[in-house]
């Protein structure tokens, strides 16, 4: 479902991704771990073209983008990848002047061109799926952080993505609100959604991940099943990372 081959991203002289090879099969939950600045966000953003890779190849849901393509062709393919992926950010990035339902249906109306009634019907179903049917008319400022993030997940699901990318979806939340967002993510995992998740929630990583991928300095230095990774990380940097959690 996702494949990165020899993916490199440079910001000026700085090589932030230094030859990433990553494969994610349909239905897998891959948790990306690594110290701050190791390139986790940049990797997610290169997968859907929010950042332009410097070299290498990205393939998502059957769409292949080689960094060497002409900019116009590359952008067209990334647009097509973005239509097949949903992304959830640390900051929920909801439209403040739209209701919960309005946020969820925006892409259905604007991108898909659905009539309002049809978009609302789908939007209501998605809000129900994240447990927020009663908040359909609420504006983001009247929702808790956990509720806002659940709206953001419903919004990401609206265009029926083949893949969901999460970048620290619970890092901005008060601790007591983390669980409700993780519960929605666990449910999506159970339903077979393909997900790549950057998170510091190690319990989620242990229990929900099919695989843990550990980045350091823009390289994948370790890749393992969560049980093996947490019980006995092989790489020194990963060992230190896990010790710091305890």
In the complex, which residues of this chain contact Mg ion (CB under 5 A)? 40-41
Considering only 40, 74, 135, 150, the residue that binds ligand ADP (CB under 6 A) is: 40
Rule CB under 6 A: is residue 130 a binding residue for ligand ADP? no
SS3 of residue 38 by DSSP: coil
Rule CB under 6 A: is residue 244 a binding residue for ligand ADP? no
For residue 49, what are the contacts with CB-CB under 8 A and spacing of at least 6?
58, 65, 74, 75, 77, 78, 79, 81, 82
Task: For residues 170 and 68, give the distance between their C-alpha atoms in angstroms, rounded to a whole number.
Answer: 35
Out of Mg ion, ligand ADP, none, what residue 83 binds, judged by CB under 5 to 8 A for its kind, is: none
Spacing of C-alpha 97 from chain mean position: 24
Which stretch, 33-41, 52-60, 90-98, 170-178, contacts ligand ADP (CB under 6 A)? 33-41
Considering only 26, 27, 37, 207, the residue that binds ligand ADP (CB under 6 A) is: 37
Rule CB under 6 A: is residue 11 a binding residue for ligand ADP? yes
Rule CB under 6 A: is residue 34 a binding residue for ligand ADP? yes
Task: For residues 199 and 165, give the distance between their C-alpha atoms in angstroms, rounded to a whole number.
Answer: 11
Q: What character string, x for contact with ligand ADP (CB under 6 A) and - otherwise, covers 13-32?
A: ---x----------------
Rule CB under 6 A: is residue 224 a binding residue for ligand ADP? no
Q: Which residue number, 47 or 114, has a Cβ lying nearer to ligand ADP?
A: 47
Considering only 4, 7, 42, 180, the residue that binds ligand ADP (CB under 6 A) is: 42
Query: Which alpha helices (H) appear in 91-221, and where do they start and end?
Result: 100-110, 116-129, 145-157, 175-190, 202-208
Structure tokens at 125: 């179903």
Rule CB under 6 A: is residue 199 a binding residue for ligand ADP? no
103 close to 151: Cβ distance less than 8 angstroms: yes
Q: Which residue number, 37 or 68, has a Cβ lying nearer to ligand ADP?
A: 37
Listed residue (167, 166, 161) closest to 191, CA to CA = 161
Beta pairing partners, 7: 20
- Residue numbers at the binding site for ligand ADP (CB under 6 A): 11, 16, 34, 36-42
């Amino acid at each position: 479902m996702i494949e990165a081959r020899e993916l490199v991203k440079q910001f000026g002289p700085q090589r932030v991704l230094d030859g990433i090879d990553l494969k994610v099969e349909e239905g897998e939950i891959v948790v990306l771990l690594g110290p701050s600045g190791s390139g986790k966000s940049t990797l997610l953003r290169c997968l859907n073209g929010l950042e332009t890779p410097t070299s290498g190849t990205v393939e998502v849901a059957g769409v292949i983008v080689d960094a060497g393509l002409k900019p116009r062709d590359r952008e067209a393919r990334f647009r097509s990848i973005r239509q097949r992926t949903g992304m959830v950010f640390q900051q929920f990035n909801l439209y403040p002047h739209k209701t919960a339902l309005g946020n969820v249906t925006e892409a259905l109306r604007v991108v898909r061109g659905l009539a309002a009634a049809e978009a609302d019907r789908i939007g209501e179903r998605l809000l129900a799926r994240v447990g927020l049917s009663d908040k359909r008319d609420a504006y983001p400022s009247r929702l808790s952080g956990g509720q806002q993030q659940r709206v953001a997940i419903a919004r990401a699901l609206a265009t029926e993505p083949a893949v969901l990318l999460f970048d620290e979806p619970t890092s901005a939340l008060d601790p007591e609100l983390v669980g409700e967002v993780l519960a929605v993510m666990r449910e999506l995992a159970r339903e077979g959604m393909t997900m790549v998740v950057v998170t510091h929630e190690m319990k989620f990583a242990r229990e929900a991940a099919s695989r843990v991928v550990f980045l350091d300095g823009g390289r994948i230095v370790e890749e393992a099943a969560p049980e093996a990774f947490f019980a006995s990380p092989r790489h020194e940097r990963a060992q230190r990372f896990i010790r710091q959690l305890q």
